[in-house]
Every structure is written in C-alpha cells, then in structure tokens.
Amino acid sequence: MISAGIDIGSRSIECVTIKNGDISEIRKADTGFDPIGQAKQLINGLKFDRILATGYGRNLFEIEHNTATITEIKAHARGAVHFFPKVLSVLDIGGQDSKVIKLNDSGKVIQFEMNDRCAAGTGKFLEIMAKTLGFSIDTFGNEAMIAKKDLSISSMCTVFAESEVTSLVAKGENPNEIARGLHLAVLKRAVSMLNRVCPKGPVVFTGGVANNPFIVERLAQMTQREILVPQPPEINGAVGAALIAMENGKQIK
C-alpha cells in the first residue's frame, strides 16, 4: 500500500508518499495565493491508496478531496518519531508559526505551545528581514555566520524590526552583524518556548528554518542540547501525515 501525506503550509506545500515504510516520493511547491490549485497540481499523477492532509490549508483540501485531516501538531509529532524514534521534544519553525511539542515515550503528544500571533519568530520574519538587508533567504544563515560579533535587536515585531534594521543600516552597522542580530532574536524566542514546554533531552528541529545553518548551530549552543534535523526538515509534517494515513487514514478511491 502507498500512503500519501500533504502539508499545506502558509509558504510552501510538501507532499510525500510512503511505500513499505520508506519514503518513495517527495514533491514540493510554493503555496502562493491559490493553495488548493497548487495542491491539486502537486498531487497530479501521484500514485497512492490513501491520503491525509495537514497544515493550515488542510480543511480546504478535506472538502475538495473528501479526505481526513490532522493538525500540524500531530503530524509533526509523528514525523519526528519516524526520523528519531526516541525523541521527546519537537521544535518546528515554519513560515507562519512556530511550535514546541512535548511527547511521551510512546510518541503521543502530551503538551504543545504555539506562537501564531504574527510573523515574529518565524520563517516569514527572516525572509522579510533578508530582503530588507538585500540578502537571499537561502544564504541568510551563512551571512549571519560570518559576522564578527553578536548584535542585539530588541524588536521582535516584523514591522518594528524592519524600522530598527533601517536605523541600524543608517548608523553604518555591518549588514552581516545585523543579520546575526535578527537570527538571535528568532532564537531567543524559540529557546524560551522550548525551555518552558520541554526543558530536557535532544530536540528534533523541523520546518524550513531548520535549513538555516546558523540557527541550528546556535540553538545547540544556547540550549546545550543535541539538535536533530530530519533531511530535508520541511517534509516532516507531510511524512507524519502519510504515516498516520497508513496507520488509520481514510481509504481513497
């Protein structure tokens, strides 16, 4: 049996199929402004017996394809257990929100916390800031890495941080150091949420922001914990959905 999971996030859509317990296909697309159209295109021609949707666009997909859905909390928890079976803490930093999930030894979610108020502390924040500084989001982490010292950015709100960045640039501060300051602001927020919900043990770090080398390195330093990143980290939610589809999903004709 082939089961599929589709994670319709605010920035990107990932779709994964699982055959005999292994990932057999990965497809990715930008969400854009037509998530359902994009999702439809993404699964076009894909072979599967069952499919389960997660992510913020899941309910639209459910109506469109008459399938079941699960929240991204449950999907990320299941995905993390697949990649790192013994792990009890999950940190996910996606495009629109960030979350920390605590699991028990059987992999069940026992507590979670989400930051979903605004773009603060998310991938979107880094993306907008990279643009303000004239960097590409793909290399933003490397730019932060080569800075000579840490710089402190106090505003976490995307709007206020943007004006803070503008005034730092006007003051003649080094753009790499400003980039590092912005990364540290995201990290500070993630670490305090992580410490509050699951303060001990290795952490599975998922979502697009886990591709950022500076964030991963500093996260390990700041928490003094082992940081485990599934490869690629952004498919974790879709993998979780596919696995749950296999375990108890709805049959699709």
Residues interacting with another protein, by CB under 8 A? 56, 70-74, 97, 108-112, 114, 116-117
Q: Least distance from C-beta 103 to another protein, angstroms?
A: 11
> Smallest gap, in angstroms, from Cβ of residue 116 to another protein?
4
Q: How far is the CB of 109 from another protein (least distance, A)?
A: 5
Nearer CB in complex with another protein: 48/56: 56
- Closer to another protein by Cβ: residue 111 or 136: 111
Which of residues 75 and 129 has its CB atom nearest to another protein in the complex? 75
Strands 68-69 and 89-93: unpaired
CA atoms of 209 and 226, how far apart (whole Å)? 17
Closest to another protein by CB, 71 or 155: 71
* Residue 151 vs 241, nearer CB to another protein: 241
Closest CA to 75 of 7, 134, 164: 7
Q: How far is the CB of 57 from another protein (least distance, A)?
A: 11
Cβ-based nearer residue to another protein, 114 or 145: 114
Q: How far is the CB of 80 from another protein (least distance, A)?
A: 14
Q: Which residues of 57-71 are buried (b: 16+ CB within 10 A; e: fewer)?
A: bbeebeeebebbbbe
Q: How far apart (Å, rounded) are the C-alpha atoms in residues 74 and 83?
A: 15
3-class secondary structure, 217: helix
Q: How far is the CB of 152 from another protein (least distance, A)?
A: 25
Q: Which element (helix H / strand E) includes 162? A: helix 158-170
C-alpha pair distances (Å), 202 with each of 78, 189, 214, 246: 16, 18, 18, 27
The Cα 69–Cα 46 span in angstroms is 19
Q: Do 245 and 4 contact (CB within 8 A), yes or no?
A: yes
